[in-house]
Structure 1
Amino acid sequence: MFDGLTNFLLHWATLAGALWLASHLFRNVRFDSHGALIAAALLLGFANTFVRPLVILLTLPFTLITFGLFLLVVNGLMILLVARLVRGFQVTGLWTAMLVSIFISLFSFAVSYFLADHGAAFQLPIGPAGPGGPGTWI
């Protein structure tokens, strides 16, 4: 019952941690309070879920022409949108926002890699290899 909620909270905490770390690594990213950080992480998650797909669809020709590199601009624009909406969250410039979006992507990838169950993807067959038996590779 709480699997979806646990997943949401885990993604939200990862995003908040990435934003907090980005504010310490990039001098043009700043949070005035912890509340602004939490609100920015929550709003960025919603913007990436609902607004970003629409923007990607509308800018599909640019994305195809640039072989997908325009998605960096879209990600940066999502961060600038959230910075505009959340009081106490400042990001100076599109280049900074694009670098922060790359950092957030790499940070989220690293966290999900370390939290994933790596043994579930491939299991050695044990037992008889009959159809439907424990030795099948399906």
Structure 2
Amino acid sequence: MLLIRWAVLAFSMWIATLIVPGITVDGGVGTYLWVALLFGLINSIFGSIIKVLTFPVSIVTFGLFLFVVNAAMLSLTARWSEKLEVTGFWSALLASLIISVITTLFKSTKKLK
């Protein structure tokens, strides 16, 4: 199951690079898998801590601030990976929205079965 979620994350990043100007991944399938792995690790470690610390802001904004946190985690991933390039906050925010929608749709279709 973990491998499927990893593949879905890599797929959602690929879709984000197709749609969002300013987000590029230099490489093929293996590179997307690597970037997805790095993003997943960064998001699970640092993202979890930041989400706990910004919980009051998330409540006030009805959870919309979580997209900002995800955009920051995507930008951090781009800093730590030579293969991912994010050129601005708005590109990171739009890409994080796309990634979130695709991964959420995958999770919801899995629950329907």
TM-score bracket for this pair, using the shorter chain length: 0.7 to 0.9
Runs of at least 5 residues in structure 1 that lack an aligned partner in the other structure: 1-6, 120-138
Q: Deviations over 1:48-97 (max 9, x none)?
A: 22211101122233323333222111010010000111102101111111
- Structure 1 residue 44: Cα displacement: 0.9
Please tell me whether residue 81 in structure 1 is matched to residue 101 in structure 2.
no
The corresponding residue for 1:27 is: 21
C-alpha RMSD of the superposition: 1.7
**8 A Cα contact 1:36 1:87, kept in partner:** no
Please tell me whether residue 93 in structure 1 is matched to residue 85 in structure 2.
no
- Structure 1 residue 23: Cα displacement: 0.7
1:68 to 1:111, Cα distance in 2 relative to 1, 3 A = closer
Query: Which is higher, the Rg of structure 1 or of structure 2?
Result: 1
Please give the residue correspondences for 1:1-138 in structure 2 after superposition, counting only pairs within 5 Å.
7-34=1-28, 35-114=30-109, 116=110, 118=112
The structure that is helix-richer by fraction is: 2
Normalising by structure 1, what TM-score? 0.72
Partner of 1:76: helix, strand, or coil?
helix
Q: Distance in 2 between matches of 1:50 and 1:117?
A: 25
Runs of at least 5 residues in structure 2 that lack an aligned partner in the other structure: none
**8 A Cα contact 2:10 2:33, kept in partner:** yes
Count of equivalent residues = 112
Identity level (%): 35
Q: Distance in 2 between matches of 1:13 and 1:99?
A: 20
